[in-house]
Amino acid sequence: MGTRPAEIAVPARLRVGVLALQGDFREHAQVLRELGVNVALVRRPEELDQIDGLVIPGGESSVMDKLARTFGLAEPLRAAIRGGLPVYGTCAGLIMLADTILDGMDGQQGLGGLDIAVRRNAFGSQTASFETDLDIPALGDQPVHAVFIRAPVVETVGPKATALAALADGRCVAVQQGNLLGTSFHPEITGEYRFHEYFLQKLIAAAR
Amino acid sequence: MTESTSAEQFGSSRVKRGFAEMLKGGVIMDVVTAAQARIAEDAGAVAVMALERVPADIRSQGGVARMSDPDLIDSIIAEVNIPVMAKARIGHFVEAQILEVLGVDYIDESEVLSPADYVNHIDKWNFTIPFVCGATNLGEALRRINEGAAMIRSKGEAGTGDVSEATKHIRTINGEIKRLSSMSRDELYVAAKELQAPYELVAEIAATGKLPVVLFTAGGVATPADAAMMMQLGADGVFVGSGIFKSGNPEQRAAAIVKAVTFYDDAKVIADVSRGLGEAMVGINVSDIAEPHRLATRGW
């Protein structure tokens, strides 16, 4: 299962942050390191200055939101995203990047950036979590094995965003918009490197 | 864009263990009412554990401790958006069946409740819902994983506010993992025998240097400093039972523990969040509890 990392020429000076407030940030850091990237864990506002891109991991989006606001990360992050910082979010990270959050907590604030409406925990309790194969032509012929864990779905894709993948029932589970990428599922825990590679290509282009 | 055609697979090991990965760096809080669940969620809990009495009360009131009333669990599920866990007695597979149909997200097969079977644990492979189980050492953790546990929590001594047993158990588990990493194959066969655990799991841990599932710490955590110490000792996250709602100011203490777990290696943050929290739970020294009344010895 999974794919081998491809040969991407990653510039040595490139640093990619992983938001490390809560969740499976170590798994993302590991995938990025295997792709030859310098990784920085980000928990403080000043740590945002040093990075060329950011990954927001899976976890509990409401907890990340609270901690990001409490420790002064939310506003600088919003500004950085508006300024073109490449960001890839998985699951909770996708929720953080959505302009509109449905079924969020009272007062939950995302970072925004993706012109989408995301429904939090769209499938129900953990017994409804599942794994499946997705055909994603943008990533090649081999299907992507995707794990959905109390996952969100993209309910509305606005005109600025583009859908990349859908479930058999048509619900959208991966999107991109400019330098932003988001998936409902977790490539970081299945040995799937192609989403991170795809993100790195955006990032390398943006850093040029 | 095209659509997927392949079948969906529910309740696989990857889905069960993967869920625990998403809880890492978080705090799971014991709650006995919907109102407490609300406080826990607002404070930044990554999940709540629904139960009828916190371990400190089970300890002081005595009697048989069982799975909670389904109405209570329903009310907590209805109150919060974060995942809800609930406890079943060791070996009580029917309590587990009930919790699964109630739509709980994770079952804790827990020594805090009175065991229902002194020989067998629940066959956790039979369920779609994932299980977390307690362990005091690596052998116990591996036996639980072999039975299908998708997450392990070191036991500590629940309901005491005394963190010393939690420290001992996380140190023991991680120390035993380190020892396996340095062994040759002939030694691993003996290690498997001594750990009373399957050789395949022992060999896997020797090769990877870590458990194949997420490891949280529990039992006696009462302060932000306790929680941060568990993280520095290698825990992936922390369960806090009686420590929050048996303290003077649960809202503030809960939020402080959440912050201390995220910034577990930053003493300045931990110092800041430790200020003015009011009284911690009074607690009992584990050394003052007679052996038969210790919860950590339940489960084998």
B42-100 tens-digit pLDDT? 999 999 999 988 888 888 888 899 999 999 999 999 999 999 999 999 999 999 999 99
Inter-chain residue contact A62 with B82, CB threshold 8 Å: yes
> What pLDDT was estimated at residue A27?
97
Helix axes B70-79, B34-43, angle to 10 degrees: 30
Nearest residue of B to residue A62 by CA position?
Answer: B44
- 3-class secondary structure, A57: coil
Q: If you average pLDDT over residues B240-258, what whole number do you get? A: 94
pLDDT of B279 reads 84
Do the Cβ atoms of B9 and A135 come within 8 Å? Answer: no
Please state, in angstroms and rounded to a whole number, the distance separating the CA atoms of residues A79 and A173.
26
| Average predicted confidence (pLDDT) for chain B | 94
Q: pLDDT confidence of B280, banded at 50, 70, 90? A: confident
- Check A137 against B263: CB less than 8 A apart: no
**Is residue A171 pLDDT above 70, yes or no?**
yes
pLDDT of residue A1: 45
The DSSP secondary structure of B84-135, one letter per residue, reads EEEEEETT-HHHHHHHHHHT-SEEEEETTSPPS-SS----GGG-SS-EEEEE
Task: Give A120→chain B minimum CA distance, Å.
Answer: 9
A139: DSSP letter: G
pLDDT value of position A38: 96
Chain A residues 49-108 with CB within 8 Å of chain B: 58-60, 62-63, 66-67, 70, 91-92, 103-105
pTM above 0.90, yes or no: yes
Minimum Cα–Cα distance from A162: chain B residue: B1
Q: Give me the mean pLDDT over the B154-172 stretch.
A: 94
Distance (Å) of CA A136 to CA A35, A56, A152, A167, B88: 21, 21, 18, 11, 41
Nearest Cβ partner of B18 from A127, A134, A149?
A149
Residues of A labelled as active-site residues = 91, 186, 188
| Mean pLDDT, residues B283-298 taken together | 84
- Greatest CA separation found in chain B? 65
Measure B263 CA to nearest chain A CA, in Å: 8
Q: Which residue of A has its CA nearest to B128?
A: A127
- The per-residue pLDDT for B1 is 47
d(CA A29, CA A18): 7
Rounded to a whole number of angstroms, the distance from the CA of A204 to the nearest CA of chain B is: 24
The mean pLDDT value for A7-29 works out to 92
CA dihedral A107, A108, A113, A114 (to 10 degrees): -110
Give the chain B residue whose CA is nearest to the CA of A107.
Answer: B42
What residues of A are in contact with residue B101 (Cβ under 8 Å)?
none
- CA B292 to chain CA centroid, Å, is 22
Which chain A residues contact residue B5 at CB under 8 A? 135, 168
**Which letter does DSSP use for residue B3 in this model?**
B
